[in-house]
């Protein structure tokens, strides 16, 4: 059995190894048992139901909350050779009845549906006429009112067990407290389910906290250091999201905003552009989340302090789903605590307010305490991280160092202890730095032994320290209206030397490995990787799917490292299964061969380049004679005429022209395409937005233009035209 599963894993998905828990879950489902799996984002849950559904007779039904993702999920599954369809309100009646027909004729391995559908007349009856091999409930926490994302529609799923007593049900979620877990299991009536609680550790994520200063410049600086890769920047307010996106765009970064204040169309368009690698950066509020299925997000940066650690974990979790090294950076400034506190203090319910406050201090601690970031995050989920050094955060790697501030803390707290009543912060600091104000004299505080002991530091230093002592619960504001400062039990421990007061600061002289964790991802040939990426973009555009559906970055990296030049070699690349090999193997091999022909030095000694086959099915770039092409363009010939003269397919010709544009060459578009045509295409692009796919543009233009021509015009648009 085990051997067979491994065989199917390679055949369908192209992987040689299961990720933790995957094999067990697949095995349980195949044996007809229910499964309840709590897996972090990027844990690889889709495979857990896709694999058993694909290799057993009958159809697997997947319940997924986001209509916007269904198409991509289905495209992805189909690309693996799995017969998948979806049913949701976006489908036309005709398309819908097609799907029903396929379902009833047993032509589907997987059917994706939204939970609403279970409430619709006749849906369950239709399902019961078909052999169903499993139900997979994605984002199952939406079922529970105790969860953070309750959706009443999910309650329709309670009917499944009764109607299909013999079919195994698998529930998946990335967040589940005990309460939510019991709730889900009860509502779905799971029978002694196989329980998986995967570790929430994400070993490929590197965590770093940086002091927040001029945040927009800092963000720009960061993005410029990571120009070629995709990332998410979270900001708290919509205003900051818009301003940051504009600022980045002004500096030539392909960035778009995402927040609940934008129209639905705009949000979808921006998200789509991000998913399709058309832009590098999405600047977003936390409204941006569930809809991202992109596996190659290389960094998640928080420009502001998140409200709690749970949110921080979920948001950073969107980085590196493909398992490649990715970076999570939090810009942390004390001002953010004050801002968030302002809102929290206005929560009416005292209990809720308290919880919100505790959570806020939890994130502040995360940023502030000299403890491994990973350990702190995992501890939040009740998970113990055993290793002393995680090797994947700024604390463990030594980018920051622990400083013992116990002495200063003691000075400050001793002043607080000696004044005997609750005095305001400024008064305490006056004492410590030896400032004999009228108030100090009046209380005779200039006679205290603590008076002036802290002259070596300035007022700002003491303010910051006092704030920190407050956040770490060593000092607190007294409840009297004057708001004086008093010591806490914890503060006393530090004051009497039973506990140290440690803080974090940047390690001096230690040059930070700014890009290190991300750079290791691109171990292959970078230029080839870029070319393969371009090729993937073109293929994705043609097929109207997001690029990652074709191959993940990881697969392209692996190709640019292993340089496969034969089908057999290509098939060995992790992530290249049978269906993908058949569909894309030849085109990618061709690209690699051409690259090797142009860069013979890239191949390691002992390996010979295989000469590119000039087959008709695979457009060959070098098939276009550049000299002749330039001459024909100067002569003012149209695209079709040039194609004919050079005996080159139109598509091959436009690709060559696109490559010329990439190299910064200007093209006589008006003669190539015709002025009227160019204007019409440009107008449509302006109407639909630059992120509209070529396929869609072709449709909108009424099918009068060859997509290759549209793509060329699109590509030739000057980069300075605003993206929106
Ligand atoms: P989740 O839904 O749990 O967030 P996905 O199912 O989207 O995660 O998987 C995340 C990524 O990991 C995808 O790119 C997927 O192809 C990849 N993946 C899943 N299983 C494996 C495996 N066994 N080996 C390598 N990559 C895998
Ligand atoms: Zn660590």
User: Is the Cβ–Cβ distance between 288 and 282 less than 8 Å?
Assistant: yes
**Ligand 2: distance of its center to the CA of 386 in Å?**
11
**Best mutation site among 38, 44, 52, 171 for ligand 1, i.e. most ligand atoms within 8 A of its Cβ?**
44
Q: What are phi and psi of 391, to 5 degrees?
A: 70, 5
Give the nearest ligand 1 atom to 9 CA.
23
**Ligand 2: distance of its center to the CA of 395 in Å?**
6
Whether the pLDDT of residue 519 is over 50: the answer is: no
Dihedral (Cα; 620, 621, 626, 631), 10-degree rounding: 70
Whether the pLDDT of residue 679 is over 90: the answer is: no
Predicted confidence at residue 609, as pLDDT, reads 62
Least confident range from 236-250, 340-354, 588-602, 644-658: namely 644-658
**Best mutation site among 37, 47, 297 for ligand 1, i.e. most ligand atoms within 8 A of its Cβ?**
47
Output the average pLDDT for the chain: 87
How far does Cα 323 stand from its chain's mean position? 12
Q: What are phi and psi of 464, to 5 degrees?
A: -60, -45
Tell me what the mean pLDDT of segment 112-131 comes to.
92
Name, in order, each residue with C-beta under 8 angstroms of 308's C-beta and a sequence gap of 6 or more. 356, 359, 360, 362, 363
Residue with the smallest CA separation from ligand 1 atom 14 is 322
Give the CATH number of domain 205-398; options: 3.40.50.300, 3.80.10.10, 3.90.1210.10, 1.10.10.10. Answer: 3.40.50.300
Tell me what the mean pLDDT of segment 19-46 comes to.
94
- Across 280-360, the runs of DSSP E, i.e. the strands, are 281-284, 297-302, 326-332
526-602 adopts what CATH topology?
DNA polymerase; domain 1 (1.10.150)
> For residues 356 and 415, what is the distance between their CA atoms, to the nearest angstrom?
31
Name, in order, each residue with C-beta under 8 angstroms of 12's C-beta and a sequence gap of 6 or more. 50, 51, 54, 80, 81, 82, 577, 578, 579
Indicate the helix (H) or strand (E) that contains 71.
helix 67-79
> For residues 569 and 548, what is the distance between their CA atoms, to the nearest angstrom?
21
Other beta carbons within 10 Å of 681:
25
**Ligand 2: distance of its center to the CA of 404 in Å?**
19
Q: What are phi and psi of 423, to 5 degrees?
A: -110, 155
Q: Is the CB of 77 under 6 A from ligand 1?
A: no
Do the domains spanning 406-500 and 618-716 agree at the CATH topology level? yes
Q: What is the 3-state secondary structure (H, E, C) of 442-456?
A: HCCHHHCCCCCCCCC
Q: Is the CB of 43 under 6 A from ligand 1?
A: yes
Give the nearest ligand 1 atom to 48 CA.
6
Ligand nearest the Cα atom of residue 387: 2
Give the nearest ligand 1 atom to 42 CA.
4
Question: Residues 159-195: pLDDT tens digits?
Answer: 999 999 999 999 999 876 778 888 999 999 999 999 9
Cα angle at 264 between 258 and 266, to 5 degrees? 55
Ligand nearest the Cα atom of residue 22: 1
- Across 415-522, the runs of DSSP E, i.e. the strands, are 475-477, 485-487, 502-506
- Considering only residues 244 and 470, tell me which one the structure prediction assigns the higher pLDDT: 244
Looking at the domain covering 618-716, what would its CATH class be? Answer: mainly alpha
Q: Is the CB of 295 under 6 A from ligand 1?
A: yes
Give the nearest ligand 1 atom to 43 CA.
3
Query: Residue 301: helix, strand or coil by DSSP?
Result: strand
Model-level pTM? 0.69
Whether the pLDDT of residue 4 is over 70: the answer is: yes
> For residues 38 and 97, what is the distance between their CA atoms, to the nearest angstrom?
35
> For residues 689 and 722, what is the distance between their CA atoms, to the nearest angstrom?
10
Whether the pLDDT of residue 638 is over 60: the answer is: yes
Q: Is the CB of 15 under 6 A from ligand 1?
A: yes
Question: Residues 492-507: pLDDT tens digits?
Answer: 999 999 988 888 777 7
Ligand nearest the Cα atom of residue 393: 2
pLDDT cut 90: percent of the chain above it? 46
Going from N- to C-terminal start, the domains of the chain cover: 2-197, 205-398, 406-500, 526-602, 618-716
The closest of 468, 464, 286 to 361, measured between CA atoms, is: 468
Q: Is the CB of 289 under 6 A from ligand 1?
A: no
Name, in order, each residue with C-beta under 8 angstroms of 84's C-beta and a sequence gap of 6 or more. 73, 74, 77, 78, 108, 109, 110, 111, 112
DSSP 91-160: S-HHHHHHHHHHHHTT--SEEEE-GGGGGSTTHHHHHHTS-EEEEEETTGGGG-TTSSS--GGGGGGGHH
Residue with the smallest CA separation from ligand 1 atom 20 is 44
Looking at the domain covering 2-197, what would its CATH class be? Answer: alpha beta
Predicted confidence at residue 611, as pLDDT, reads 56
Indicate the helix (H) or strand (E) that contains 197.
strand 194-197
Other beta carbons within 10 Å of 358:
11
Q: Is the CB of 39 under 6 A from ligand 1?
A: yes
Most confident of 3-7, 254-258, 450-454: 254-258
Query: Residue 510: helix, strand or coil by DSSP?
Result: coil
Cα angle at 687 between 686 and 689, to 5 degrees? 65
The hierarchical CATH code for the domain 406-500 is 1.10.10.10
Residue with the smallest CA separation from ligand 1 atom 19 is 44
Question: Residues 215-234: pLDDT tens digits?
Answer: 999 999 999 999 889 999 99
Q: Is the CB of 64 under 6 A from ligand 1?
A: no
Predicted confidence at residue 159, as pLDDT, reads 92
> For residues 686 and 392, what is the distance between their CA atoms, to the nearest angstrom?
44
Predicted confidence at residue 722, as pLDDT, reads 41
């Amino acid at each position: 059995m085990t051997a067979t599963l491994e065989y199917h894993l390679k055949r369908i998905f192209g992987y040689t190894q299961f990720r933790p828990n995957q094999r067990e879950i697949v095995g349980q489902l195949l044996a007809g048992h229910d499964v309840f799996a709590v897996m972090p984002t990027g844990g690889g849950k889709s495979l857990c139901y896709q694999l058993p559904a694909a290799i057993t007779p009958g159809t697997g039904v997947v319940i997924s909350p986001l209509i916007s993702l269904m198409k991509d999920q289905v495209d992805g599954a189909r690309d693996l050779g799995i017969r998948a369809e979806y049913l949701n309100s976006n489908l036309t009646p005709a398309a819908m009845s097609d799907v029903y027909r396929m379902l009833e004729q047993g032509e589907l391995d997987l059917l994706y549906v939204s939970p609403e559908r279970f409430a619709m007349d006749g849906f369950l009856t239709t399902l019961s006429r078909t052999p169903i091999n499993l139900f997979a409930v994605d984002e199952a926490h939406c079922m529970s009112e105790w969860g953070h994302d309750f959706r009443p529609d999910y309650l329709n799923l309670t009917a499944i067990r009764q109607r299909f007593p013999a079919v195994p049900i698998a529930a998946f979620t990335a967040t589940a407290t005990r309460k939510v877990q019991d709730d889900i299991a009860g509502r779905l009536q799971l029978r002694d389910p196989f329980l998986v609680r995967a570790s929430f550790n994400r070993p490929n994520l590197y965590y770093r906290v940086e002091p927040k200063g001029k945040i927009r410049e800092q963000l720009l600086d960061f993005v410029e250091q990571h120009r070629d890769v995709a990332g998410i920047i979270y900001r708290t307010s919509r205003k900051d999201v818009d301003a940051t996106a504009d600022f980045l765009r002004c500096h030539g970064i392909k960035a778009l905003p995402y927040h609940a204040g934008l129209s639905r169309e705009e949000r979808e368009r921006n998200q789509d552009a991000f998913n399709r690698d058309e832009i590098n950066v999405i600047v977003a509020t936390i409204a941006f989340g569930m809809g991202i299925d992109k596996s190659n997000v290389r960094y998640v940066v928080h420009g502001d302090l998140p409200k709690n650690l749970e949110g921080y974990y979920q948001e950073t979790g969107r980085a590196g789903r493909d398992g490649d090294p990715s970076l999570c950076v939090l810009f942390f400034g004390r001002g953010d605590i004050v801002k968030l506190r302002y809102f929290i203090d206005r929560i009416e319910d005292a209990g809720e307010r308290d919880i919100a406050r505790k959570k806020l201090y939890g994130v502040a601690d995360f940023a502030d305490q000299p403890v491994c970031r990973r350990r702190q995050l995992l501890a939040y989920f009740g998970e113990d991280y055993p290793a002393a050094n995680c090797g994947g955060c700024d604390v463990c790697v030594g980018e920051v160092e622990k400083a013992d501030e116990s002495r200063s803390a003691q000075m400050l707290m001793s002043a607080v202890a000696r004044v005997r009543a609750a005095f305001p912060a400024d008064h305490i600091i006056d004492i410590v730095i030896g400032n004999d104000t009228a108030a100090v004299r009046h209380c005779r505080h200039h006679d205290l032994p603590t008076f002036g002991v802290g002259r070596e530091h300035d007022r700002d230093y003491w303010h910051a320290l006092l704030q920190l002592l407050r956040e770490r619960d060593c000092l607190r504001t007294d409840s009297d209206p004057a708001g004086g400062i008093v010591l806490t039990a914890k503060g006393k421990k530090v004051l009497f030397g039973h506990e140290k007061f440690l803080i974090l600061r940047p390690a001096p002289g230690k040059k930070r490995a700014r890009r290190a964790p991300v750079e290791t991802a691109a171990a292959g040939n970078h230029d080839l990787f870029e070319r393969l990426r371009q090729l993937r973009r073109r293929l994705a555009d043609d097929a109207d799917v997001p690029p990652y559906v074709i191959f993940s970055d990881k697969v392209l990296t692996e190709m640019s490292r292993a340089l496969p030049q034969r089908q057999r070699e290509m098939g060995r690349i992790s992530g290249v299964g049978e269906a993908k090999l058949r569909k894309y193997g030849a085109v990618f091999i061709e690209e690699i061969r051409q690259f090797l022909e142009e860069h013979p030095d890239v191949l390691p000694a002992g390996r010979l380049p295989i000469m590119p086959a000039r087959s008709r099915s695979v457009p060959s770039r070098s098939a276009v004679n550049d000299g002749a092409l330039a001459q024909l363009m100067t002569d003012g010939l149209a695209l079709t005429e040039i194609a004919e003269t050079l005996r080159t397919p139109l598509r091959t010709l436009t690709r060559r022209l696109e490559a010329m544009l990439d190299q910064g060459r200007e093209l006589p578009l008006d003669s190539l395409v015709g002025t009227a045509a160019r204007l019409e295409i440009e107008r449509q692009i302006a109407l639909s937005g630059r992120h509209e796919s070529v396929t869609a543009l072709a449709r909108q233009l009424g099918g009068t233009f060859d997509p290759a021509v549209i793509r060329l015009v699109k590509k030739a648009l000057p980069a300075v035209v605003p993206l929106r």
